[in-house]
A and B are shown apart, each in its own frame.
Chain A
Amino acid sequence: MSQTRAGIEFTATYLPPQTATVDELLRDGLLTGSAETLKAFGFSRVHLAGSETNVEMALAAATRLLEENEIDRDSIGMILYAAALGSSSTLWDAAPPPCQLARSVAHAHESAAVADAVLSFETVPDLFKYPASLLQSGLDLPHASVMGINQIGCASIFAAMRVARGLLAAEEDLESVLCVASDKFPPNQPRDLAYNLVSDGACAALVRRNPSRNRIVECAQVTKGALWDSGSIENEIIASYFPTATSLIERTLRKAGVTIDDIALVIPHNVSLRSWEILGRLIGCPDERIYTANIARVGHTIASDTLLNLEDATAAGKIQKGDLLLLFTFGYGSNWVSMIVEH
């Protein structure tokens, strides 16, 4: 690979306004396990999309990124739409008809064609209607080709950024890639999963050549396909989580030529606080250098945790220019991904 510098220049996230506490989820029958255990593991509140669709959330996050940073839309050569849940890679919302989505997109761009594209879900051609194309249209990015990334669970946005980095190195005329992830749990689905509490949410990252911040120094991924059946072998996945995460992080640090002591802040995924206490010890990182403030406030937003935490930690002044950050997440499948960036 060439020495092309690529990085996460801008990020934006979207969380639906509706929230529920652990106790409210218990009251509403949206927990299968113990509320007390979830609280002991650091969870307090989640965001619920309600009638919003995953694509609407994706549009909200991406629009925010483009508008707040006054991005020249013509400079974006590609959209990588990352989906953790299988349902997120379709226009299906488990609540047909998706008229609300169509209305919101049509309203944004006064485009009857866009609205028509999602009004009917009753024929085979409906299976060929994709969120990424809808995003390109909805965001008005005429020069962006699109691609979908899925089947890596909550690690999907990492894979998108990794692919973006590779594309920027390989294609000289490509300036920036918009990576977007958005996931929404099916309605009435319990919100606790493997002792974590799940939020709906979306995120967007603009991966750019020669970035002014968040240069991607190194990234690595481990996939253990034998652990694909998350429902029936949850215990094995939990047991595998720590040793695999530890070895991957150590490998990523080695590849980058740094040690954990060089990392100013770990940007985690919002799984149980206890698990980060353990993993922190395993990798030799003290708790105060792991940004866990959002675990209680937001919960686990499937693919959006890390960018949400990067954004909030930056806004909170926890990161200084030049700091090395370790981003980490796990996705069912099972996938462990880590990335080192230089802020």
Chain B
Amino acid sequence: MRRKTILLTGATGAVGRDVLRRLAARRDLRINALVRASAESPEDRVKTLLGAMDVLADLRAIRGDILAGSTLGVPADDLSRIRRDTTHVIHAAGSTSFTLPLGDARSANVAGAQNVLAFVRGCASLECAAFLSTVYVSGKRRGVFAESDSGDAGYGFVNTYEQSKAEMERVVAAAMADLPLMLIRLSTVLGDSVTGEVAGFNAVHHAIRLLYNGLAPMIPGGAGDPVDVVSSDFASAATVHLTEHAEAGNVYHVAAGAASDTLADVLGETVRALSEFRPLWRKRAVERPLIVPLDTYELFVRSVDDTGSEVLRGATRSIRSFAYQLASPKTFGTARAADALSQAGIQPTRSLDFLPRIVKYCLDTNWGAARC
């Protein structure tokens, strides 16, 4: 039986790193991990990512860049071999920044995906190529967002990340007619549910930091609104399983879905964890942020803008980049993914159960400034 050969883009990213670790622990796989050029060699970068773990897979770090055209910048020596052998692709590369200008976000997320599509057309053994997206292609839509729903449905987007990913999905969906592709929409990934380790600090972690520093007086939303976040171990396990075993031509939601906890509970647990892991923080008497209607939050933001205080402006700006999602409450339908994952017993961990570990990791590493 031919060995599965997986091409992984974005191996150094927040989700890609966990996917790489999961793949590397398997003896039955050959992995080509695409790594962008840097001062470090691709091999060293991958070695750093994997740390002391036992690598059982046949793992090769390949220098490449998804923005480098249809060859992905893969050296000619490797190109034909990878095209010939690749059975699965996990395209995890892209930008997750919420604040990029739209042109830059499109370049990273749409043009990059187009190049990957062009690349996989040349992969003779391809069984499935999974493109990682986000459940937040739903934009400002409220209510239920199902796996069968299109991201770009006229509701508008909160940030350029959402918009560029929705545009990427259109490109991939159009190519599904003649290629075995799937879209995996991930929820917000917080970190490892067991260790609390955070591979990539995002806006939610930054919001926790603002809360810790007493600079988050209010957030928009409703106390009972769902907050959909997942652990990185669930996200990576689900991504790998779906890519290998689920039916191509579909969209899958890797999200907490109906099991999401409420905004009030997530906020309360965050405050409780900060108090538990930093007892002295209690002395600062930081008040729990208020959960307010969007128009009240916007009035506060406008006032902060008027004051010209750079610190407060920076704080509200960073919350603003995702907070409007909180004001557009929704539940992500996960029926198709749940069905596909149930065979392997993969299911999301409840956020309140692992959130304290994430908070502790943030505190212990000073939000990544001093990694454990």
Contact = CB atoms under 8 A, between A and B. Distances in A.
Given A242-B218, A274-B303, A235 B283 contact: no
Contact of A247 (B215, B284, B287, B293): B287
A242 B311 contact: no
B154 interface: no
A240 B285 CA distance: 9
Given A239-B215, A278-B300, 13 more contacts: A34-B308, A37-B307, A41-B306, A226-B284, A235-B215, A236-B214, A238-B217, A238-B307, A239-B214, A243-B290, A247-B287, A274-B299, A274-B303
Nearest to A236: B214
A246 B213 CA distance: 19
A226 B213 CA distance: 12
A247 B307 CA distance: 24
Contacts of A143: none
Interface in B278-303: 283-290, 292-293, 295-296, 299-300, 303
B287 A278 contact: no
A227 B213 CA distance: 12
Ranked 4 nearest A-B pairs via Cβ: A243-B287, A224-B285, A235-B311, A239-B217
B105 interface: no
Contacts of A37: 306-308
A274 B213 contact: no
B213 A236 contact: yes
A94 interface: no
Interface in A266-297: 272, 274-275, 277-278, 281-282
Nearest to A195: B307
Range, interface on chain A:
20 to 34
B285 A243 contact: no
A213 B309 CA distance: 43
Nearest to A235: B311
B287 A244 contact: yes
Contact of B288 (A226, A235, A243, A278): A243
A2 B360 CA distance: 48
A40 B307 CA distance: 10
Nearest to B286: A240
A33 B308 contact: yes
Interface string A209-253: 000000000000000111100000011101111111011000000
B59 interface: no
A234 B312 CA distance: 10
A281 B292 contact: yes
B290 A242 contact: yes
Contacts of B303: 41, 272, 274-275, 278
Contacts of A238: 217, 307, 309, 312
A275 B307 CA distance: 12
A226 B287 contact: no
Interface string A153-190: 00000000000000000000000000000000000000
B219 to A, nearest CB: 11
Given A226-B285, A239-B217, A274 B308 contact: no
28 contacts: A34-B308, A37-B306, A41-B303, A224-B285, A225-B285, A226-B283, A226-B284, A227-B285, A234-B309, A235-B215, A235-B309, A235-B315, A236-B214, A236-B215, A238-B307, A239-B216, A239-B217, A239-B312, A240-B217, A241-B217, A242-B218, A243-B217, A243-B289, A274-B299, A274-B303, A278-B299, A281-B292, A281-B295
Contacts of B315: 235, 239
